[in-house]
Amino acid sequence: MGLGTHNTQPDINQAEQGFLQACNEKQNYTYNEKKEPFYKCWSTTVPMKYVVIGATGGTILVIILSTVIAVQHPAEILSTICVQCKDGWILYKNKCYYFSDNYRSWDKSLEFCKSQNSSLAIIDNTEELAFLNRFKGIGNHWIGLSRKEDDSGWVWTNGTLYFEDIFQIERLAGNLERVYLNHDGVKSNIEKGEKKWICSHYGFGWS
């Protein structure tokens, strides 16, 4: 049995197509109705090393190695990562969201989210903001942004400061301002009052 090399690119391409097909079949998240399950997959490449050992009858055996042994060539081995949310939660990209049907104060809404191992929604970019506005409909929904005093900074529930770089807040000035999504923008209100709310957390992943 001789030692030799073999071009595995066609095999890798076939594997990639198979994984992508599986991802497309499993991808099932929506913006306008609550169906289950909400999950999706995507592909990623992992650099590896391989050696090829020739066998009788023209058969080629490819052994994947992570260390350098004999004849080596870099290859990219495709893997699939899936993300899923709990029942009643909506998946968008790599986050899970819960849109309430009930009304609570900001503090009570935050307590509920914490009981679900999540927080009131933290918005990272304009795409996420557009998704939340599109999915929530016309109702007012609390998100995880607040300020303690009139001249203090806005703070997300994870402790990071917000400098109004994603959206501007139409304020109802005062102490203990809480932020919510409205049908025509992002607004603040004092601690009192009840609204619907949105929880969020990163999805559960597996490969």
Q: For residue 198, is it within any domain? A: yes
Residue 66, domain extent: 3-84
Cβ neighbours for 119, distance < 8 A, ≥ 6 positions apart: 110, 113, 144, 157, 158, 199, 200, 201
Same domain, 108 and 178: yes
Q: For residue 49, is it within any domain? A: yes
Task: Give one word for 150, left, alpha or beta, with left for phi > 0 and alpha for psi -120 to 50.
Answer: alpha
Q: For residue 141, is it within any domain? A: yes
Same domain, 190 and 117: yes
Q: Does the structure show a pLDDT above 80 at 5?
A: no
CATH number at residue 194: 3.10.100.10
CB 28 within 8 A of CB 39: yes
Q: For residue 107, is it within any domain? A: yes
- For residue 195, give the DSSP letter: B
Tens digit of each residue's pLDDT (9 = 90 or more) over 146-197: 998 777 889 999 999 999 999 999 987 666 799 999 998 999 988 678 999 9
What's this model's pTM, rounded to 2 decimal places? 0.63
The residue from 33, 63, 84 where one domain ends is 84
Q: Does the structure show a pLDDT above 80 at 90?
A: yes
Q: How big is the CA angle at 140 (ends 134 and 141), to the nearest 5 degrees?
A: 80
Tens digit of each residue's pLDDT (9 = 90 or more) over 48-65: 333 333 434 443 333 333
Same domain, 70 and 149: no
Same domain, 45 and 21: yes
The residue from 84, 117, 151 where one domain ends is 84
Q: For residue 91, is it within any domain? A: no
Same domain, 109 and 171: yes
Domain count, the chain: 2
Q: For residue 143, is it within any domain? A: yes
Same domain, 78 and 168: no
Q: Does the structure show a pLDDT above 50 at 21?
A: no
The residue from 56, 84, 112 where one domain ends is 84
Q: For residue 8, is it within any domain? A: yes
